[in-house]
Amino acid sequence: MVLDFVVPSPQGTSWGLGGTCVNVGCIPKKLMHQAALLGQALCDSRKFGWEYDQQVKHNWETMTKAIQNHISSLNWGYRLSLREKAVAYVNSYGEFVEHHKIKATNKKGQETYYTAAQFVIATGERPRYLGIQGDKEYCITSDDLFSLPYCPGKTLVVGASYVALECAGFLAGFGLDVTVMVRSILLRGFDQEMAEKVGSYMEQHGVKFLRKFIPVMIQQLEKGSPGKLKVLAKSTEGTETIEGVYNTVLLAIGRDSCTRKIGLEKIGVKINEKSGKIPVNDVEQTSVPYVCAVGDILEGKPELTPVAIQSGKLLARRLFGASLEKIYHTLFWPLEWTVAGRENNTCYAKIICNKLDHDRVIGFHILGPNAGEVTQGFAAAMKCGLTKQLLDDTIGIHPTCGEVFTTLEITKSSGLDVTQKGC
């Protein structure tokens, strides 16, 4: 049996079977990102000889309807898969009441009790709120954005997580006025050199950044779709306060594990009281052996890109221990960007090699088009023990972005210039 009840967001948003990624995460995010890229392609196309006079504008409602239709088809596919495997699907909220027994409550408030020999907790995480006046009343999160029935207009994105920057990036790509309010640093836990390059690129493309500020109050000035909100913010370094007026405030300040209201304390499943995450052993068992846990709620396990998170540990080693790593890097200019006149020496590639293990590649970073596709292939190679020598021995597929990793020559420690000279 699968219990899958989505508690509506404070704005009332709910969704179907498939979890965060399918409904309010990777899938709609990448589709909106693609919509923004198509707008950029329209601009580029004139440089490639395409002539058009029609005023080009973006229709938010058309896009969200198409994306939600696709997501609905995915939801239906999961329902069918469960049915084919004879899995009972119950759209109810589950919570433990005693050992081996749960209570399931549906949206009408009707309660049913079930018993089982084994349980798997896979409840994931939901966006965090600020805990200030007006946040839950007037702000939205990524839970609401992808099915928002109207264009968000002038938007303040609060946060500097990958969710914050991804959303800010595609909203700006639709031509919206976008500001990102950053408490401290961009992309905490990620390679900070890459993070600052992402920030610089976004600024070049119209995203404004308010650094070292946090909101302290949200007030509604006008109702509407969208309405108008006044945001009062204070400096994290002094006494300065600022005000701004926006149509939409999008909170992307982190996510909390959904582990505190499912009765775990009734059966003795230990959680980290501070983070809400669940410690498990090597076979995903919690402190109660018949209860296992998987996904983002696990303590000490990566929620996303493990290589990027690992880079923080490597940095600490380099700063506070003997340097065991050698870093090769280069800037590059995708061929597709040349005729279009897009910025040169903005894209960046970097690998980190372990000098004590035949220069084995232990870190991989790329900032450029199709980064996910490029990384996937190299990730498999790293699993197979990829070394710098093997990269050097590989013939590059020309002209591609990925080929730059076969011609890396300059180490960071050398301090030599890495701007691109030829093709």
Among all residues, which ones are annotated catalytic?
398
- Copy the structure tokens of residue 20: 């965060």
Q: Is 175 exposed, middle or buried (0-12, 13-18, 19+ CB in 10 A)?
A: middle
* Full DSSP string of 68-119: HHHHHHHHHHHHHHHHHTT--EE-SEEEEEETTEEEEE-TT--EEEEE-S-E
Q: Count CA atoms within 13 Å of residue 391 on its CB side.
A: 28
Residue 17 burial (CB count, 10 A): 19
Which candidate, 173, 170, 161, places its Cα nearest to that of 127?
A: 161
Lookup: tokens for 250: 């999008």
Which pair of structure tokens corresponds to residue 163? 């969710």
Say if residues 257 and 123 touch (Cβ distance below 8 Å): yes
DSSP assignment, residue 404?
G
d(CA 392, CA 264) in angstroms, rounded, equals 52
Tell me the backbone φ, ψ of residue 360, rounded to 5 degrees.
Answer: -65, 135
Residue 48, φ and ψ in degrees, nearest 5: -95, 15
* Residue 154 burial (CB count, 10 A): 17
Query: Pairing mode, if any, of strands 178-182 and 208-211?
Result: parallel
Contacts of 54 (CB under 8 A, 6+ apart): none
Q: How many helices (H) and strands (E) does the chain have?
A: 12, 20
Q: Which helix (H) or strand (E) holds 180?
A: strand 178-182
Long-range contacts of the stretch 401-404 (C-beta < 8 A, 24+): 401/332, 401/334, 401/347, 401/366, 401/368, 401/369, 401/370, 401/374, 402/374, 402/377, 402/378, 404/330, 404/332, 404/349
Q: How many residues does the chain have?
A: 423
Beta bridge partners of 211: 182
